[in-house]
Structure 1
Amino acid sequence: MAAAGPVRSVLKRALAAIVVLAVLAFPLVFARPFPRHVMIMIFLYGALATAWNVLAGYCGQISLGHAVYFGIGAYTSTLLIREAALTPWLGMPAGAALAVLVSQVIGYPVFRLRGHYFAIATIGVGEIVQTLFINWDWAGGARGLFVPIKRPDSLLNLQFHESKAVYYYIALGLLALALGVTHWLERSRRGYVFRAIREDQDAAASVGVHVAREKHVAIAVSAALTALGGTFWAQYVLFIDPESVFPLSLSILISLVAVLGGVGSLWGPVLGAAILVPLSEGTRVLLGGTGKALDLVIYGALIMLIAVFQPSGVIGLARRFRRDRRQATGAAQASSA
C-alpha cells in the first residue's frame, strides 16, 4: 500500500502527458475544418469562462454582462486595423487595456450592489453598451465592421485563410494564458483574499481586507482576459457587429460554461466548454435553420438541472465520487483488518 501513492502520481503524470500530446497533435490528425473549428471554440469558450471564473468563481461577483469586455476587445483591434493599419497583436493589448479601464468605470457603481442586484446591474450595463454601439456610426453601427482581409496568410496579421490549424494553436495559447493566470491567482495571497470575499465580504472587511479594491482587481483581470478572446474572435470570423459580440446570450453562455464545469475551480470552465461547445455546435450543424434558438432552450434546461441537482458542476460531481470511493475503500480495509 505504501507504493500506491508514487504509482498513482506516475500514472497521473503519464495521463497528463498523453492528453497534452493528443491536444497538440489534434490538428495534424484531423485535417477537416469542422473538428478543428469545434476544438477552437472549446479553447475560446474555455478561456472566456476561465476569465469569468476569476470574478465570479473566486471573488463571488456573478456577472451577466461579460460580453461587454469581449466586444470591446473585438472592436478595439478591428478599428485599429481599419483606421491605423496596426497588427492585431497590438490590438490585443490595446483592447485589454481599454476593457480594464471600462471595467473600473463600471465597477464603481455596480460593486455597491450584492448578489442578484449586482447580476441584474451587469445585465443592464451590457444592454446599454450594446445599444450605444448599434447607434454609433463611427463604429459601424448596426451594420457592423468587416476586418480587412490581408494576403498572403501571415502570423503578423493573424489571418489564415487556407487552414485553421494556426488559429487552433493561438486559441490553445489563449486558454493556457487564462489558466496560467488563474493558477497563479489561486495559489497567491490574493486568491485567498478573493475567496474570503466570496464567502463573507463583511467578515473579510472586518479583518482588514480592502474589499472594494480587491473586487476592482478581480474584474480588471477578468476583463483583460475576456478582451483578448474578443480580439481573437474578430480575427477568426473577420466580421463583427453589436448583435454578435455584445448580446446577453453570449454573457449567459460564458457563465453557463463555467457553472456546468464547476465555478471556483481551475479546470471546471475547461470541462464545461468540452461538454457544452460540441453539444451546441453539433445541434447547429445537424438541425440547421430548423433548430434555431434550440441552443437557448438547451442552455436554460442545463441551468435548471445544474441549479437543482449539481450546483458544484462536473468538478463537484467528480470530487464527490472520488471521496465516496475513498470512504468505501477505507471501510473495506477496516472491515478486513
Structure 2
Amino acid sequence: MANSNLAGVLNPRRRHLAAGAVLMVFLLLLPLGISSVTILNILILTLLYAGLSQAWNILGGYCGQISLGNALYFGIGAYTSTLLLTHLGASPWFGMVFGGSLAAALALLIGWPLFRLKGHYFVIATIVIAEGALLLFQSWPWVGGTLGIYIPFLGDSWVMLQFQTAKLPFYYVALGYAAILWLVTYTIDGGRLGHYWRAVKDNADAAQSLGVGIFASKMQAVAISAFFTGVGGAFYAQFVSYIDPESVMNFQISLLMTLPAVLGGLGTLWGPIVGAAVLIPISELTRSYIGGSGQGLDLIFYGSIIMVIALVKPEGIVGLWADIKRRRILSRTPLASRKVAP
C-alpha cells in the first residue's frame, strides 16, 4: 500500500495536473489586484499566445511538422467570426466554433498535398500559402481589403463578447482558452495520439513499420492545431474590435505562435506557457515604451534569447529546468546508490 501511494505521489502526470491546478488558481486571482489597463492587456495577450503556441506545438512539437503559416488559420478564424457578426448578427461564441471548424477544414485540404513534402520544403510551402492568402485578402473587397473591418459595438454583453471599458472579462476568456489548450495537450501527451505523433516525429519509417499511420497522424494533428488557432483568431478579433489582413494574417503572427514553444521546449506540456510568459511581455513592453522608433526591436531581443537557448540547451527552458532538477537529485543521492549492479 505504501509503495502504491508513493507511486501515485511520484507519478509525473499527476504532478503536472496538480501544478496546472495551482497555476490556474493563481491566474484566476491574479488580475483582481491589477488596476493598470496596460498590464491587463499584456496578461491577456500572454494567455492568448500561450494557447496559440500550444496549438502550434501540437503539430510542430509533437508531430514534428514545422509550420510557419499558422497565421492563415488565425486569420480565417478572425474573419469568419467578424463577418458572421457584422452580416448576420451571430454571436462570437458561435463564430469561434465555426471559424475554428472552417480553419480545420482548410488545414485538411492544404495538408492533403503538403504532407507529401518533407523537411524545409514543407516549411517553405506553409509560408508561401499563408503569404498568398494574405495577398488575396488584401485585394478582396468583400472582406474589407486593406481597409479591414470594424466590429460595431452593440453594448456590454457576454453573449456578444463585447465590453467597452472592462478588460477583466477578456482576461478570463483568454485564461479559459489557454487552460483548454493545456488540457487538450495534457490528454494528447499521455494518450495514444501523443505516442504515435512522437514516433512519427522521431522516425517516421520506423513508426510506419510498427503500424502507425503517418499521413493520418499528420492530418489529425493539423486539424486539431488549426481548429484551436482559428478559435484564438476569433477571440482576438473581438478583443481588438478591428481586423485587417496585416493584423491577423501577417507572417510575424506565425512567428509569435512558434517562438514561445521553441524557447520553452518543443513537444513539452509546459514549453509554450513558459515561452509565452517570457516573450510576449518583452514584445509588448518594448512596443509600449519605445514606440515606432523601436519597431522590430522586440524580435531582435527575443530572437537573441532563443539563439542563446538553442546553443546552451536546445530542449528549451523546460529542458534546462529538468537538467537542474536532475543534478539536484543526484547531488543528494549517496555515491554508492548510484552504482549499477553488473
Q: TM-score of the superposition, structure 2-length normalised?
A: 0.92
- When residues 11 and 47 of structure 1 are mapped into structure 2, their CA distance, relative to the original with a 3 A threshold, is closer
1:125 maps to which residue?
Answer: 129
Q: Distance in 2 between matches of 1:298 and 1:243?
A: 22
Q: Specify the SS of the correspondent of 1:159.
A: coil
Stretch of structure 1 that moved more, 17-26 or 244-253: 17-26
1:283 aligns with 2:266: no
Measured against aligned partners, the alpha-carbon deviations of 1:100-147 in whole angstroms (never above 9, x if no partner) come to: 111011101211111211111111111111111111111111111111
Say whether the 8 Å CA contact 1:144–1:240 is kept in structure 2. Answer: yes
1:296 is displaced (CA, Å) by 2.2
2:214 maps to which residue?
Answer: 211
1:233 maps to which residue?
Answer: 236
Say whether the 8 Å CA contact 2:283–2:299 is kept in structure 1. Answer: no
* 1:26-175 alignment, distance < 5 Å: 26-151=30-155, 153-175=156-178
1:190 maps to which residue?
Answer: 193
- Which AA in structure 2 matches 1:214? S
Q: Specify the SS of the correspondent of 1:163.
A: coil
1:18 is displaced (CA, Å) by 5.2
Say whether the 8 Å CA contact 2:282–2:302 is kept in structure 1. Answer: no
Q: Distance in 1 between matches of 2:112 and 2:173?
A: 34
* 1:7-22 alignment, distance < 5 Å: 19-22=23-26
1:329 is displaced (CA, Å) by 1.4
Picking from 308, 322, 326, the partner of 2:325 is 322
1:184 is displaced (CA, Å) by 1.1
1:42 is displaced (CA, Å) by 1.1
Say whether the 8 Å CA contact 1:253–1:299 is kept in structure 2. Answer: no
- Which AA in structure 1 matches 2:129? V
What percentage of residue pairs aligned between the two structures are identical?
A: 44
Q: Specify the SS of the correspondent of 1:321.
A: helix
- When residues 6 and 186 of structure 1 are mapped into structure 2, their CA distance, relative to the original with a 3 A threshold, is closer
1:213 is displaced (CA, Å) by 1.1
Measured against aligned partners, the alpha-carbon deviations of 1:153-201 in whole angstroms (never above 9, x if no partner) come to: 0000101112100000000000011111111111111111011100011
Give the total of aligned pairs.
Answer: 333
1:333 is displaced (CA, Å) by 7.4
1:299 is displaced (CA, Å) by 3.8
- Which AA in structure 2 matches 1:315? V
Picking from 250, 253, 264, the partner of 1:250 is 253
- When residues 248 and 299 of structure 1 are mapped into structure 2, their CA distance, relative to the original with a 3 A threshold, is farther
- When residues 221 and 293 of structure 1 are mapped into structure 2, their CA distance, relative to the original with a 3 A threshold, is same
- When residues 202 and 239 of structure 1 are mapped into structure 2, their CA distance, relative to the original with a 3 A threshold, is same
Q: Distance in 1 between matches of 2:15 and 2:104?
A: 41
Which ranges of structure 1 fall in alignment gaps of 5 or more residues? none
Q: Distance in 2 between matches of 1:203 and 1:75?
A: 41
Q: Specify the SS of the correspondent of 1:117.
A: helix
RMSD: 2.3
1:178 maps to which residue?
Answer: 181
Q: Distance in 1 between matches of 2:191 and 2:337?
A: 39
- When residues 11 and 293 of structure 1 are mapped into structure 2, their CA distance, relative to the original with a 3 A threshold, is closer
Which ranges of structure 2 fall in alignment gaps of 5 or more residues? none
1:292 maps to which residue?
Answer: 295
- Which AA in structure 2 matches 1:316? G
